[in-house]
């Protein structure tokens, strides 16, 4: 149910200013057949939602890699995304039925862009000895480097070269090659139908990259954090809108995009459609999107009250349920498996795990599909 008009208008006027990050250009006309469409609702249609988990290792008390498969299985998760290519981790998931998404470190990107032998060396060292027993589904060439000037000019060539090397070993259909982006690649996010990539990387980086991904049937990986959008926009975005409102709530908030006519009841859908619209604005067809990181922190600095154990449980549980209900599905990797007490920065950075560092659960989360 919609809020009263006066409250709703005040809410969305604030939201426009706080999360749009709009450029000075005027909003384009979206007349014609685009009106009333949702650009795909999501840009992937996988038949069933896949729920994975990110495995970060900035913790002083984390279990050894050998303990990971049983912990991941206990959460009813079958997909793990790592931030490196450690053979000990790859080996630990051998013959478990759990798939891995690996990541090449950022510092390898410049040399990979010009040196095929470096790509070949990585494959021979970190892929060939393990791929027959461990399910490796994708490799991200770097993580969130699209806007970093030391990597931006090299990114597309590095991804293309690594795919070329994978293809030499006839593994390109089994192992997809991509890279991972933050939502900072969007210069305009709101309203979602008007979203755009930054001019500095839209035509020069993202357009050739998305074309490559479409040609190789590989996903566009994007980290999507409703918590960060909520925090940065506080108090403009109501907490329940960021936490996926209860389906049967008596006062459900709804925002209708004035240009597409699409109605939204949560922040996640807005962020996902923003990515779709930005791809469309480049003149490109839809592409499958994998949410490579998403989650909610269970603790933060004093005063950061939205970062709580209960809100983390509610967000992740409702995320799973929302994906199950959706007409089209998207793969997501929840961030993260463990709390990481050695991460730098704000306190909140240390508290995104589903598990404590010792492997015990922080809260109950039902990821198993309904019988």
Total residues found in the chain within this entry: 371
Q: Where are the alpha helices (DSSP H) in 190-329?
A: 199-201, 207-215, 226-233, 239-242, 267-281, 309-325
100 and 174 in contact (C-beta within 8 Å)? no
Alpha-carbon gap, residue 45 to 340, rounded angstroms: 33
Alpha-carbon gap, residue 277 to 261, rounded angstroms: 14
197: Cα within 13 Å, side-chain hemisphere: 26
215 and 178 in contact (C-beta within 8 Å)? no
300 and 351 in contact (C-beta within 8 Å)? yes
C-alpha distances out from residue 198 to 16, 28, 204, Å = 18, 16, 10
- Of 50, 118, 293, 340, the active-site residue reads 293
Q: What is the DSSP string of 157-192?
A: HHHHHHHHHHHHTT-TTTSEEEEEEEGGGEEE-SSG
Alpha-carbon gap, residue 118 to 141, rounded angstroms: 13
Enter the tokens of residue 145.
Answer: 């480097």
Mark whether 310 is an active-site residue: no
- Of 50, 118, 144, 340, the active-site residue reads 144
DSSP label of 350: G
Alpha-carbon gap, residue 15 to 33, rounded angstroms: 27
Phi, psi for 335 (deg, rounded to 5): -105, 115
362 and 356 in contact (C-beta within 8 Å)? yes
Closest to 233 in 3D by CA, of 262, 272, 271: 271
Mark whether 203 is an active-site residue: no
State the catalytic residues: 144, 293
């Amino acid at each position: 149910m919609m809020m009263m008009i006066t409250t709703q208008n005040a809410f969305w006027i604030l939201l426009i200013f706080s999360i749009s990050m709009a450029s000075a250009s005027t909003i384009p006309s979206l007349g014609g057949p685009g009106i009333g469409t949702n650009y795909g609702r999501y840009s992937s249609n996988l038949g069933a939602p896949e729920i994975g988990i990110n495995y970060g290792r900035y913790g002083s008390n984390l279990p050894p890699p050998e303990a990971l498969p049983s912990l991941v299985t206990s959460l009813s998760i079958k997909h793990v995304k790592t931030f490196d290519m450690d053979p000990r981790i790859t080996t630990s998931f051998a013959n478990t039925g759990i798939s891995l998404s690996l990541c090449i470190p950022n510092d390898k990107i410049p040399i990979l862009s010009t040196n095929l032998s470096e790509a070949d060396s990585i494959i021979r060292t970190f892929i060939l000895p393990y791929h027959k027993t461990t399910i490796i589904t994708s490799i991200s060439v770097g993580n969130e480097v699209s806007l970093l000037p030391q990597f931006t000019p090299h990114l597309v060539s590095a991804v293309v070269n690594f795919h070329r090397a994978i293809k030499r070993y006839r593994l390109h259909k089994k192992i997809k090659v991509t890279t991972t982006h933050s939502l900072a690649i969007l210069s305009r996010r709101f309203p979602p139908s008007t979203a755009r990539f930054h001019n500095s990387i839209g035509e020069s980086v993202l357009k050739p990259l998305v074309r490559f991904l479409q040609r190789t049937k590989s996903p566009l990986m994007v980290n999507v954090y409703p918590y960060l959008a909520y925090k940065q926009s506080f108090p403009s975005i109501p907490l329940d809108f960021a936490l996926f409102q209860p389906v049967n709530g008596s006062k459900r908030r709804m925002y209708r995009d004035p240009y597409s006519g699409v109605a939204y009841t949560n922040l996640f859908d807005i962020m996902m459609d923003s990515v779709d619209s930005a791809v469309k604005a480049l003149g490109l067809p839809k592409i499958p999107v994998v949410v490579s990181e998403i989650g909610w922190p269970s603790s933060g600095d004093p005063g950061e009250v939205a970062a709580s154990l209960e809100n983390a449980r509610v967000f992740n549980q409702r995320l799973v349920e929302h994906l199950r209900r959706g007409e089209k599905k998207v793969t997501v990797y929840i961030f993260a498996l463990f709390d990481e007490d050695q991460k730098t920065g704000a306190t909140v950075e240390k508290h995104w795990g589903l598990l404590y560092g010792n492997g015990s659960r922080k809260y109950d989360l039902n990821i198993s599909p309904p019988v």
